[in-house]
Amino acid sequence: MLWVDRPETHAALGDVTDRFEARPAPPLRGTGRASVLLCLGARRVIHSVGWTGSAVGPDVQSWVSETDPYHQGENMMGQNATPGSEAPGSKTPGTEPKDSVAPIRTWGGEDAMLSAYYDDEWGRPVTSEAGLFERLTLEAFQSGLSWATILRKRENFRSAFAGFDPVVVAGFQEQDVERLMDDAGIVRNLRKIQAAITNAAATVALREEGGLPSLIWSHRPETTPLPSRVEDVPSRSPESAALAKDLKRHGFVFVGPTTAHALMEAIGMVDTHLLSSHRRGVSGLWNEDGTWAADPVFEDSAAQ
């Protein structure tokens, strides 16, 4: 097995970063078999059956830790980020999982920072304008990169983009773009920086039509997925395609069905935690059968 770098993918996205070299996997030990699939720009590293216990030797585990960006802690949302720090507008649901339940995560389980984000924030409802603008911006910056890359830089992004105040960001001028391009604490990609400014202006303009929270949450599906395995978790949906189309119609850029679906997962619009996960139902918005249990509570009056 080889890790295969895809430089053309990075180049197409204008950010040749997050590289790793192809290296062969060591032989598996014992009776178990393990395989690892890495998808650039995705958030999940899928481990097949036989990955736990003595099924694989320590040399294999060491190899994965050295080569897998998720094991290295490279994924989306801020340098110097405090594990568990939440986006503006992140809600604490009424129903919390029991501490006695063994953690079952679809991604990030081998990295402390990612595990904390997965357990403390991912999938909780976010309904404020600033919170949604932050998530939308960071999802765009994550394109072509790992989520941990952005997660480690999250606090730097917040500082560089004025706490993701859309009014302030919409007013950024050329000197601000130059400042951001010189800021090593964020992802220095001109297209993504310009997209953030464009989307800030679109967010402000949406206030005349009910606001960004109203637009995004209007695309909440009637049911949420019920995945038993990681392979059952979708990366896009008809609703995410409709959301991306609606955002573009209102002037947003750098957003597609896959990015929109990732946003929907992160803010609790859909619950893609495995049915066996200790975080299943953390949003408090879905019944066990995947139907609506409650409506989100909006912080911004414009979204109500």
How much is the pLDDT for 244? 97
Q: Please check whether residue 157 is in contact with residue 186, taking contact to mean a CB–CB distance below 8 angstroms.
A: yes
For the chain, first and last CA: distance in Å? 52
Q: Which residues contact 146 (CB under 8 A, 6 or more apart)?
A: 18, 43, 69, 70, 74, 75, 76
How much is the pLDDT for 205? 98
Active-site pick, 74, 139, 239, 265: 139
How much is the pLDDT for 27? 41
How much is the pLDDT for 133? 98
Chain segment 73-118, per-residue pLDDT in tens: 333 333 333 334 444 444 444 444 444 455 766 555 677 888 888 7
- Residue 213, token pair as written in the block: 């929270």
Residue 242: helix, strand or coil by DSSP? Answer: helix
Is 117 noted as a catalytic residue in this protein? yes
Is 3 noted as a catalytic residue in this protein? no
pLDDT at 149 over 90: yes
Chain segment 6-48, per-residue pLDDT in tens: 333 333 343 333 333 333 444 433 333 333 333 333 333 333 3
Q: Please check whether residue 55 is in contact with residue 95, taking contact to mean a CB–CB distance below 8 angstroms.
A: no
Phi/psi of residue 239, each to 5°?
-70, -40
- Residue 140, token pair as written in the block: 């765009």
- Residue 145, token pair as written in the block: 């990169």
- What's the half-sphere exposure (Cβ side, CA atoms, 13 Å) at 125? 21
Active-site pick, 122, 147, 217, 286: 147
Chain segment 256-298, per-residue pLDDT in tens: 999 999 999 999 999 998 988 888 988 989 989 999 888 898 8
- What's the half-sphere exposure (Cβ side, CA atoms, 13 Å) at 206? 29
Chain segment 205-253, per-residue pLDDT in tens: 999 999 999 999 999 999 999 999 989 999 999 999 999 999 999 999 9
Per-residue exposure over 228-265, b if at least 16 CB sit within 10 Å of its own CB, e if not: eebeebebbbebbbebbebbeeeebbbbbbbbbbbbbb
How much is the pLDDT for 70? 36
Q: Which amino acid type is present at position 243?
A: L
Q: Which residues contact 26 (CB under 8 A, 6 or more apart)?
A: 57, 59, 60, 63
pLDDT at 254 over 60: yes
Can you list the alpha helix ranges (DSSP code H) found in 206-256? 212-217, 238-249
Q: Please check whether residue 123 is in contact with residue 266, taking contact to mean a CB–CB distance below 8 angstroms.
A: yes
Q: How distant, in Å, are the alpha carbons of 220, 223, 260 from that of 291?
A: 11, 5, 21
Residues in a beta bridge with 286: 292
How much is the pLDDT for 161? 98
- What's the half-sphere exposure (Cβ side, CA atoms, 13 Å) at 140? 26
- Residue 304, token pair as written in the block: 């109500």
Active-site pick, 107, 117, 122, 286: 117
Q: Which amino acid type is present at position 109?
A: G
How much is the pLDDT for 104? 62
Best CA proximity match to 235, nearest among 71, 87, 41, 73? 41
CA angle 213, 174, 207 (to 5 degrees): 20
Q: Is the pTM of this model over 0.85?
A: no
Is 121 noted as a catalytic residue in this protein? no
Rounded to an integer, what distance in angstroms lies between the CA atom of residue 186 and that of residue 154? 8
